[in-house]
Amino acid sequence: MKKYLIILVCLILSLMVFGQKETKNLMVDIEEVEVTPPKFTGIENVAATLETDNSSLVSKYLNKNLIYPERAPQFHWEGTEIVQFTVTQEGELTNFKVINGVCREIDKEVIRVLKTTDGMWKPGYNNGVPTAMEQEVSVRFGLGDYKDGAIINHFVKEATNFFKKGSENLLVEHKPKKALKSYNKGVRYLPNDKALLLGRGMCHYELGDKESAKKDWNRIVTLGGINQLEIDNDLVGMKGYSEMTNILAQKQKKE
């Protein structure tokens, strides 16, 4: 089934650098100290690849080793998988966590392959000292023969449609449970889309799941925050509006 698999990989350095008493904004860290993120070296020609783009190396490795679940076409399993992990001071991988999953089979498969890269990483450095750092790997799984960025356009189109349905269900029909289903499908395609996370968080809050709501809104903060002027005015009267804006204001307070 590998002919159905399209993989685009993106590496993200998390805001958290372990070994410090508190988490700081990454931009502040860069100004105050010299931070070097972990680097994937692969297993072939390590010395020659040390200066190569990390995303390219990881993408090649995952493309070679990932096995798309055989049931994927039948159940139309596609979307963006995000897995977070820690690269230790010794360059080993630990603390795997699924930030956004396409399905359980793909969750397990991506983590399985990432675990095989244990020992293929150079650790991150903080002022020249090896430091444990979090990384995220984002992998797009698409069904079909996509070329020249068509998979991205397909994902944006699907996510946009689900966002529109979710917003209509939430803001017009006042059906948060139904809206949540649409937002979940949209997030499956674009897990870092702030508008989708904003709406899904509000659905969670309306349904009494405050922890999931906070998780979505804190994710927005991690992704760089959002201009509160862009927040739909129709959300103002909803239950979680005040708590949502307080969470989103975290970024402004740090800056």
Residue range 125-150, pLDDT digits in tens: 888 889 999 988 888 888 777 766 78
Helix (H, G, I), strand (E, B) or coil at 131: strand
Per the model's pLDDT, the better-predicted residue between 215 and 35 turns out to be 215
Choosing from 108, 141, 174, the residue where a domain stops is 141
**Number of domains composing the chain:** 2
Going by C-alpha positions, the residue among 11, 6, 223 that lies closest to residue 117 is 11
Buried b (16+ CB within 10 A) or exposed e, 199-215: bbbbbbbbeeeeebbbe
Partners of 13 in the β-ladder: 135
- In the chain the beta strands, taken as DSSP E runs, fall at 9-17, 35-36, 39-40, 79-87, 93-100, 121-122, 124-126, 129-131, 133-141
Going by the DSSP 8-state scheme, the letter that residue 83 receives in this structure is E
Residue 81 corresponds to which amino acid?
E
Count of H-run helices and E-run strands, the chain: 11, 9
Give tens-digit pLDDT for 186-240.
999 999 999 999 999 999 999 999 999 999 999 999 999 988 777 878 888 898 9
Residues 71 and 137 in one domain: yes
| CA 198 – CA 66 distance, rounded (Å) | 32
Structure tokens at 251: 């970024």
- Per-residue model confidence (pLDDT) at position 34: 66
pLDDT value, residue 8 = 57
pLDDT per position as a tens digit, 68-102: 888 877 788 889 999 999 999 998 999 999 999 99
* 175 and 222 assigned to the same domain: yes
Type of residue at 23? T
* Stretch (H or E) spanning 47: helix 46-49
Q: Report the range of poorest mean pLDDT among 148-152, 169-173, 182-186, 191-195.
A: 148-152
Digit-coded pLDDT (tens) for 58-68: 878 888 888 88
> Is the Cβ–Cβ distance between 47 and 84 less than 8 Å?
no
Residues 120 and 229 in one domain: no
Cross-strand bridge partners of residue 82: 100, 138
Q: Are residues 137 and 158 in the same domain?
A: no
The dihedrals phi and psi of 84, each to the nearest 5 degrees, come to -105, 145
Which residue's entry shows tokens 């799984």? Answer: 141
Q: 0.85 exceeded by the pTM?
A: no
Does one domain contain both 17 and 136?
Answer: yes
Q: What is the DSSP letter of 132?
A: -
Domain match, 122 and 16 both = yes
**Residue 93's domain spans which residues?**
2-141
- Asked if 134 and 163 sit in the same domain, the reply is no
Q: Return d(Cα 63, Cα 219) in angstroms, integer.
A: 28
Q: Among 118, 141, 164, which residue terminates a domain?
A: 141
Arithmetic mean of pLDDT over the chain: 80
154 in the same domain as 115: no
- Confidence at residue 159, expressed as pLDDT on a 0 to 100 scale: 95
In this prediction, residue 198 carries a pLDDT of: 94
Of the three residues 110, 141, 172, the one that is the final residue of a domain is 141
